[in-house]
Every structure is written in C-alpha cells, then in structure tokens.
C-alpha cells in the first residue's frame, strides 16, 4: 500500500561518503536522510520511521553495533532492515554486526550498484505482508487479492484504509483492539496520526458495511472488536 519513495536513513559521520550515497539513492528512487551520529539518527527515527537504515560501524558516540542492538530491541524499530557499513572486512566483525541485528553487511569501499542491490534485497525480504489472503467471518467475506468485500453475496464498496482495517479485524475476530494497537497494525507507524483517526475510519467502515456494520462493536474505554455474535443471520 505504500506509495512513497523508500526512506533510507544514512548514519555516517564521513560527510563525503554520506553525500555520495545520498546523491545515488536520490537518483534511484529513494529518499535519503543523513544523520552523522546515533543521537541525531534516533531523533530522525522518532520523528519518521525509515524503510531501511544504512549504519556505519565507526561513529562518534555510540558505535554502529551498539545502535543496531538498541534498535533491534525497540518494538517500533525492530522490523526496519539495517545494512551495516564498515571499513573492516574481518570475518569476526561481520559476525558481530550480524549478531547485533544487522540484516546485511557491506565493506567499504563498495560500489554504488552493489549497495543499491543490497538495499533492494533487504527491503524485499522485510516487505510487510500483503493482504493477499481471503477470509470469511459469518456472511462477510474479504478477498485480499481482488480487493473485494461481500456481505451475504452482495458486493460492498470501501476505501483502502477501511479495507485494511476490515482485513485486520477479520483476521483477529472477537478480540478487543485499542486505538493505538490498530494504528500499529493497520497504519504501521503512527507518530503523526492521532488516535481519533481510528474512530473516523471505523465510522466509515461501519457505513460501508451497511447492515454488517453492527459486527464492529465499540468496547467502551478499550477499543473495537469484530464479533460474529451480533450478526443477524
Ligand atoms: Ca565512520
């Protein structure tokens, strides 16, 4: 569902290398963001989660390995692929980098083509699961590959966010999901999205569902749940 250019956070203290990488990334359909140390990188990540992190090993302050470990332990960041950059070519270093949580490892000097290929590879490996499965709950069916939703055989129209939201509810029925959990699971990264947004989309989803709209229950003070029990069969 993502249509933006993949954001690549470059954590590199050598300006000339960072600039070279940035220029090439920009020419190849990526949005580069440059941070020269761990603290600046952390602020970038807190503000907008990147799609991939290029992390230099030798940095002023916290080292690349320390940062990789820290980010891997953070639930919000842990799914972001990390590609470690280093001047070291030692096998032990490579193992250490991968143990710290890096997805891949590239030794300086490297060719830009190789770097781009590695970035594309980690992005493919970590690509979020597409909503490709079909699921049925009571008389409600959702087909992820054709983006069709039907209720009792009748086709229903809805926007892409309502579709994703419904898909999530249908894959996790009878459980109460808080607004913040829904933002995490459906929107992916909710730094700039208010929890009220969830209410707006749930309202739209109910409208789109018509008489099946009652299947989505509001649980006061807790969140929302999709249930089969209130469905009129
Ligand atoms: Ca360095």
> Which residues, by Cβ under 5 Å, contact ligand 1, an ion?
13, 56, 58
Contact criterion met (CB below 8 Å) for 103 and 122:
yes
| CATH numbers and ranges of domains, the chain | 7-124 (3.40.50.2300), 134-230 (1.10.10.10)
Q: Are 101 and 71 in contact (CB under 8 A)?
A: yes
Per-residue pLDDT of the chain (233 residues; tens, 9 = 90+): 344 688 999 999 999 999 999 999 999 989 999 999 999 999 999 998 999 999 999 999 999 999 999 999 898 888 899 999 987 667 777 777 778 888 888 888 889 988 998 898 887 766 544 445 788 999 999 988 788 999 999 999 998 889 989 999 998 899 999 998 888 778 765 456 678 889 999 999 999 999 999 999 999 989 999 998 754 44
Cα(207)–Cα(184) distance, integer angstroms: 23
Task: Report how far residue 164's alpha carbon sits from residue 21's, in angstroms, rounded to the nearest whole number.
Answer: 35
Quote the pLDDT of residue 92. Answer: 75
- Residue 89's pLDDT is 67
CA of 87 to the centre of ligand 1 (A): 8
Up-side HSE of residue 214: CA atoms within 13 Å toward CB? Answer: 9
What is the Å distance from ligand 1's center to 19 Cα? 13
Q: How many Å lie between the centroid of ligand 1 and the Cα of residue 183? A: 36
- How many A from CA of 57 to the centre of ligand 1? 6
C-alpha 68 to ligand 1 mean position (Å) = 15
What pLDDT sits at residue 129?
A: 46
Cα–ligand 1 centroid distance for 34 (angstroms): 13
CA–CA separation, 200 and 165 (whole Å): 12
- How far does the centroid of ligand 1 lie from the alpha carbon of residue 127, in Å? 28
pTM equals 0.56
């Amino acid at each position: 569902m993502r249509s933006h250019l993949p954001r690549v956070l470059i954590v590199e203290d050598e300006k000339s290398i960072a600039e070279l990488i940035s220029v090439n990334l920009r020419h190849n359909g990526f949005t580069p963001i440059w941070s020269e140390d761990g603290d600046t990188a952390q602020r970038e990540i807190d503000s907008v989660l990147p799609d991939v992190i290029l992390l230099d090993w030798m940095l002023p302050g916290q080292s690349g390995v320390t940062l990789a470990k820290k980010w891997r332990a953070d639930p919000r960041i842990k799914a972001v692929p990390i590609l470690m950059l280093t001047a070291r070519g030692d096998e032990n270093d490579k193992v250490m980098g991968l143990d710290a949580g890096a997805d891949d490892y590239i030794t300086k000097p490297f060719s830009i083509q190789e770097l781009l290929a590695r970035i594309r590879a980690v992005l493919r490996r970590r690509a979020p699961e597409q909503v490709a499965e079909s699921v049925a709950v009571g008389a409600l069916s959702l087909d992820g590959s054709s983006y069709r939703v039907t209720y009792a055989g009748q086709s229903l129209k809805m926007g892409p966010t309502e579709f994703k939201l419904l898909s999530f509810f249908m894959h996790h029925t009878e459980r109460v999901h808080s607004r913040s959990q829904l933002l995490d699971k459906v929107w992916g990264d909710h730094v700039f999205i208010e929890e009220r947004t969830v209410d707006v989309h749930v309202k739209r989803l109910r409208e789109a569902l018509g008489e099946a709209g009652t299947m989505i229950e509001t649980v006061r003070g807790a969140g929302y749940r999709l249930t089969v029990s209130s469905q009129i069969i």
